[in-house]
Amino acid sequence: MSNPFFEPLADTGIPNFPAIRFEHYREAFDRGFEQQREEIQAITSNPDAATFANTLEALEHSGALLRRVEDVFWNLTSSHTDEALQALECEIAPLASAHGSSIYANPQLYARVKAVSEARESLSPEQEQLLEETLRTFIRAGAELSDPQRARVSAITEQLATLCTRFGQNVLKDNNDYALALHSRDELAGLPDYVLEMGRDEARARGLSDAWVFTTSRSSITPFLQYADNPALREEIYRAYSSCGTRSVDNRPLIREIVALRSERAALLGFATHADFMLDDRMAKTPGAVRELLDQVWQPCQEQVSKEAVALAACAGLASEQELAPWDWWYYTEKLRRERFDLDPDELKQYFKLENVRDGVFDVANKLYGIDFRERADLPVYHPDVQVYEASEADGTLIGYFLFDFYMRPSKRSGAWMSEFRAQSNNGERITPVIVNCCNFPKSDPCLLGVDEVRTLFHEFGHGLHGLLSNVRYRSLGGTKVKQDFVELPSQIMEHWAMEPAVLSSYARHVHTGAAIPDALINKLKASELFNQGFATTEYVAACYLDLAWHSDPDAGARDVEEFEAQALQDIGKTPLIDPRYKSTYFQHIFSDDHYSAGYYVYLWAEVLDADGFEAFKENGLFDPATAAAFRSQVLERGGTADPMSLYRAFRGRDPEVTPLLRNRGLL
């Protein structure tokens, strides 16, 4: 049987998933590595003087086969993996890392790129940006170091690829290994019907007919903590969640090794810490700038959370907030929410059927940018749950394809994310993108979403629009290939439309009657928006500080993980009632790969931009054509083709202000 990766992609760009077999991956990787090595050799051995075309563009075009297999493999190891894929992932991760290092630490190739830079041909702004980004990539890979230093940087990066892969696989295993199985109605006291049904569905999926099963997935544990009357059971599942990465597996040795290697690599490259190294290539630039932003939010946030704790203790009938436990917060918050706003989340969920929310986000995209989405059930998918949509302009011009993978399953890692099976480019041939959004909603019929899950869907769709509407010449500058603290702007600004009354009334329909969500319920929802924001901000910002602590201390790798974490949180005066959103042993953002390391703050940084940016829509109209056109042309279409702050200024007409963020979080 021929290897489908060796065949050109279909015109749609969607891989031929049904034809792909496990044995095809390694064969395609091996040939892809070899083919790109030959392409790089052709560039470096070219006797002609280095030019943008024969060096930068040739490098950009190289590795087409490798990209075809990588785009499928790395997506599926996150969204639909198994033991065989995980074993192969452990083999491929260091090989892929070594292959990348062999390119960007290649002295002959770097010499040609430098020659192009020094010659300074007449280049377009996008070509200038590609040249600058390529030079930066070479330097950050060690191209200007001595041969032994460069070899050590490459070896460290290869080791990190293996360690980070193991870290992520361990989190998936620990999450899958835990289940809280309940067998009596007494244990289920307080849980509403939709939570009970979710527990029944999970039990059936595990082959248990006489139980209700709850897991540490956010979609399962959060409603359990909100409603379960039994404090011992709340404590049990909370402790299981917060000890992930230490139960059936132990991520602590991996953390220490990852942190130590990152520190060593940063020092070799001339940086004081890994945080300095990572932030040098972001908008923030320095750890000090990040800490300044966090500090601006932390102080008013702690004042707010103290008030919230007092109110919860009173609701619980306790003498002092010190008597509260971390697993009590959700439970009494839910009671207080009902008391203050007469807001029943179970009633609210009846208006957020998954399919309606999906159609709602399509409608927002149509009103803003004129995009139409049409389901294509005839196109191949990698799992039966995946839905494919064809996206086109109002005039019928094809934009690309959008895949939705909504439901949780044991083969999918936790969380929600956007990725792509093919990136957009237009360098001689127009290549349309293939985007995928992955979520972890409980698979039930009907699937009803909570407010946070609705926002998650809008958020990931915003990332999807960033990739879908990309309109650049060079693939490596398109879509979400931007500075890490700019990438969350399109996703977070999209969240604002989710809860706007005019938008809610169009898509929030009762699951049984089809009636639009009543104004009274919208008013309750809007009135409660600032409720519990002290808690939400505390758990997020505490995780940001923890990330920064791990990567700002050159000696952190030599420390005991629990002791280091405790000290980092003590240093900021965090209340013991609220844990960081992620503790170190399951903090996948920062330990499953490099991208968000020393960068978990980016959501807050981008929130400054999105809160300020949405003010333009509030001032001019939610669907104002001119404002939407400016955001599309200056942000969504431009990818990483220019400095991100210059793109924001081109859209907004000025620098962003932090006041809207503080107001949106109730922290003024």
pLDDT of residue 668: 76
CATH architecture of 252-343+532-600: Orthogonal Bundle (1.10)
Q: What is the sign, positive or negative, of the torsion defined by CA atoms of 40, 44, 49, 52?
A: positive
pLDDT of residue 428: 84
d(CA 240, CA 236): 6
pLDDT of residue 453: 96
453 is catalytic: no
1 pLDDT above the threshold of 70:
no
Q: What is the pLDDT of residues 68-118, one digit of tens each?
A: 999 999 999 999 999 999 999 999 999 999 999 999 999 999 999 999 999
From the CB of residue 75, how many other CB atoms can be counted at a distance below 10 Å?
20
Looking at residues 251-256, what average pLDDT do you find?
98
Q: What share of the chain is helix, strand, coil (3-state, %, to 5)?
A: 60, 5, 30
391 pLDDT above the threshold of 70:
yes
d(CA 193, CA 25): 44
Q: What is the pLDDT of residues 19-36, one digit of tens each?
A: 999 999 999 999 999 999
Instruction: State the DSSP string of 126-180.
Output: HHHHHHHHHHHHHHHTTTTS-HHHHHHHHHHHHHHHHHHHHHHHHHHHHHHH--E
569 pLDDT above the threshold of 90:
yes
- Which of 482, 493, 514, 543 lies closest to 656, judged by CA? 493
Topology alike, domains 252-343+532-600 and 349-527: yes
241 pLDDT above the threshold of 80:
yes
Q: What is the pLDDT of residues 397-456, one digit of tens each?
A: 999 999 999 999 999 999 999 999 999 999 988 999 999 999 999 998 899 999 999 999
pLDDT of residue 121: 83
Q: What is the sign, positive or negative, of the torsion defined by CA atoms of 342, 345, 347, 353?
A: positive
- Work out the pLDDT band at 256, boundaries 50, 70, 90: very high
Burial class (CB in 10 A: 0-12, 13-18, 19+), 560: exposed
Asked whether the beta carbons of 639 and 479 are under 8 A apart, the reply is yes
Instruction: State the DSSP string of 491-547.
Output: HHHHHHHHT-HHHHHHH-B-TTT-PBPPHHHHHHHHHTTTTTHHHHHHHHHHHHHHH
Instruction: State the DSSP string of 378-408.
Output: TS--SSTT-EEEEEE-TTS-EEEEEEEEEE-
- Which of 484, 499, 463, 507 lies closest to 602, judged by CA? 484
Looking at residues 533-550, what average pLDDT do you find?
97
pLDDT of residue 120: 73
Mean pLDDT of the residues in the chain: 96
- Which of 170, 317, 181 lies closest to 249, judged by CA? 170
Residue 43, token pair as written in the block: 């560039």
228 pLDDT above the threshold of 80:
yes
494 pLDDT above the threshold of 90:
yes
204 pLDDT above the threshold of 80:
yes
Q: Would you kindly state where each structural domain of the chain is located, as residue ranges?
A: 4-173, 178-242, 252-343+532-600, 349-527
Looking at residues 210-218, what average pLDDT do you find?
94
Asked whether the beta carbons of 529 and 647 are under 8 A apart, the reply is no
* Phi-psi region at 430: left, alpha or beta (left = phi > 0; alpha = psi -120 to 50): beta
Q: What fold, for 349-527? A: Neurolysin; domain 3 (1.10.1370)
Residue 334, token pair as written in the block: 């839910």
4-173 carries CATH number 1.10.1370.40 = yes
Instruction: State the DSSP string of 597-619.
Output: TT-TTHHHHHHHHHHHHHHHHHH
Of the candidates 39, 460, 495, 637, the residue annotated as catalytic is 460
